Amino acid sequence: MLEVRHLSVNYRGIQALADVCFKLAAGRLVGLIGPNGAGKSTLIKAILNLIPIREGQVIYQGLPLKQQRQQVAYVPQRSQIDWDYPITVWNVVMMARTAHAGWFHAPSRTSREVVKEALLRVEMFGLRDRQIGELSGGQQQRVFLARAIAQQAELFLFDEPLTAVDKKTEALILEIYAELKAQGKTLLISCHEWGEALNHYDRLLLLNQRLIANGSPIEVMTLENIQCAYGVCPQPQRFHQSKETMYFC
């Protein structure tokens, strides 16, 4: 169980997050949505303690998360990564094993096996010797997915993993979400998708500086909530036909 308590973050004098509270249960796929600049990335970084927190706590299994960072796998936004860095696919994934190996130690045989398995799972083992800049956008995302898998963490934080990926990668990512969920992992994914795609998530967090709604996609995607988060009234669109319910998205 991940618990975020009264989290507030100021960024250069501007309030980026105000009093955000929520709990994430294990084995759930949770989507983090909100307009651009709503503070989705800031929230993920604040949970990881990568930016100064003004107030609040992040507790995992009863202890502050920053004391047990090995439990978290983090996939940053694509734009945060230098794709010209001289590194191959294999070594990017091997980074996940840095903490497991410990200081002064080379990666163990187990680590090499884990990395190989992760690369096979995302169908990138054949390209393991490629420099990361020589891959397509979808392949690059799969490398980072493999890195997250190889870390064998309990809590997964993904920052917009579906941006600029091909259909095949998207399907693969969704499959892996399902596998991780089945293994009882906790997943928080900031996302840009709309409509049907949001039904992949068990829960949604709707954010705009503060947490506007927290619940199942049906509960969260109401006209009132969306207006509150986005400040506009969007065009109504059929959201989930099987239940014959109209949602606004």
Per CB under 8 A, residues contacting another protein are 12, 45, 48-50, 69-70, 72, 74, 76, 80-82, 85-88, 91-92, 94-95, 98-99, 101, 103-104, 106-107, 129-131, 151
Residue 58 neighbours by CB under 8 Å, 6+ apart? 2, 3, 4, 5, 7, 46, 47, 49, 64, 65, 66
Quote the least distance from Cβ 28 to another protein, whole Å: 21
CA 62 to chain centre: 22
Quote the least distance from Cβ 112 to another protein, whole Å: 13
Of the candidates 206, 214, 247, 200, the residue with the CA atom closest to the CA atom of residue 230: 206
Of the candidates 60, 69, 29, 64, the residue with the CA atom closest to the CA atom of residue 188: 29
The answer to whether 64 touches 7, Cβ cutoff 8 Å, is: no
Quote the least distance from Cβ 63 to another protein, whole Å: 14
Complex with another protein: residue 155 or 207, whichever CB lies closer: 155
Quote the least distance from Cβ 147 to another protein, whole Å: 8
The answer to whether 242 touches 49, Cβ cutoff 8 Å, is: no
Quote the least distance from Cβ 139 to another protein, whole Å: 15
Tokens of residue 30, six digits: 């949770």
Complex with another protein: residue 82 or 244, whichever CB lies closer: 82
Tokens of residue 242, six digits: 């099987």
The answer to whether 195 touches 237, Cβ cutoff 8 Å, is: yes
Complex with another protein: residue 85 or 194, whichever CB lies closer: 85
Complex with another protein: residue 44 or 221, whichever CB lies closer: 44
Complex with another protein: residue 36 or 103, whichever CB lies closer: 103
